[in-house]
Structure 1
């Protein structure tokens, strides 16, 4: 079963009438930028959640709407069949574009996924430059990063993400009780 989409403006009206807004992004994404009043329920913790007790409408969102749409059947199964539920069409990006309020906390670290992308991209770029300008042995750096990304894609384990979780700017977010470690 899929969940119907709702425009950000219509979602805002439903929220004013008492609907519940649930952000399915991970905690690091929600900590940096969120719709005020949204409850964070990451997909990684969905199996532990009890949404069946909700009788007011529930509105789910992510950053672009794609993650929520892809997981709509999983979300729908967790709900009471009588509960109205929707997906914000376009997610947080469309919410912002509609001029609705978004709370941003720049003191929070950039999302871990983006940190991995910046780290991997930097290593590939610098390794390639050094390979061209200094020694061909430096081409091992982009090869190693590429192998790491392939491994992360195949297994779901990302060594770079594990290292970045322990970086000083991420320690508070990832060492708090109940957070990923």
Structure 2
């Protein structure tokens, strides 16, 4: 694990080239702000990228990054199972920006909402819909109860089923050409 302060010090000393930074968030999250020089390979595409990541790991150390550090830890575990060493940025891009370090942003037309924001919007909308529909059709209130229970389960287990579902939406999927270009850059 690397802290934002230590990684920024490496960047300031011109040593960031020792790392190949892989951002495992969705393309929309990546476009909204990522570490300079980071490559985007969404977590659910990691297995397809293993050959390119193996070659990249032979040239430099891999540093996995996400919003908070949870998905990047999962990515490191998947890579370790494939025999590829990798580290994670503690606290992710959230901690990186909180420390005042720069991020690169794509053009505004491509930037999307963070996964956390998407989950809050979807969960809130479903709770409100369940309550509103429940005024006419009482069983609809169960929708609010199920979503609320899912949020509690998500907090307790530090996983999020709703985020996994939202990641499959077209807006959160990489364009094939973007993923192919990233894999080519890594030395597929």
TM-score in terms of structure 1 length: 0.66
Pick from 120, 123, 127 the counterpart of residue 120 of structure 1. 123
CA offset digits 1:114-163 (Å, max 9, x no partner): 335313312322441453xx53x16516528938x97x949x984xx49x
Q: Which residue of 2 aligns with 1:9?
A: 5
Q: Which residue of 1 aligns with 2:55?
A: 53
Distance in 2 between the 1:157 and 1:94 partners? 22
Q: CA 1:178 to 1:116, structure 2 compared with 1: closer, same or farther past 3 Å? A: farther
Q: Secondary structure at the match of 2:37?
A: coil
Q: Return 5+ residue gaps in structure 1 as ranges.
A: none
Q: Return 5+ residue gaps in structure 2 as ranges.
A: 151-159, 180-188
Contact 2:35/2:102 (<8 A) preserved = yes
Higher relative contact order (CA 8 A, sep 6+): 2
Q: Name the structure with the higher helix share.
A: 2
Q: CA 1:179 to 1:120, structure 2 compared with 1: closer, same or farther past 3 Å? A: farther
Contact 1:127/1:142 (<8 A) preserved = yes
CA offset digits 1:3-29 (Å, max 9, x no partner): xx1111222344432122111212222
Q: Which residue of 2 aligns with 1:62?
A: 66
1:16-165 equivalent positions in 2, closer than 5 A: 16-17=14-15, 18=17, 19-49=19-49, 50-54=52-56, 55-78=59-82, 85-105=86-106, 106-107=108-109, 108-111=111-114, 114-129=117-132, 131=134, 134-135=135-136, 137=137, 139-140=139-140, 143=143, 146=146, 153=161, 158=165, 161=166, 165=169
Return the index of the structure with the highest Cα Rg: 1
Indicate the RMSD between aligned Cα atoms, in angstroms: 3.7
Q: CA 1:58 to 1:43, structure 2 compared with 1: closer, same or farther past 3 Å? A: same
Q: CA 1:95 to 1:42, structure 2 compared with 1: closer, same or farther past 3 Å? A: same
Q: CA 1:176 to 1:43, structure 2 compared with 1: closer, same or farther past 3 Å? A: closer
Q: How many aligned positions are there? A: 159
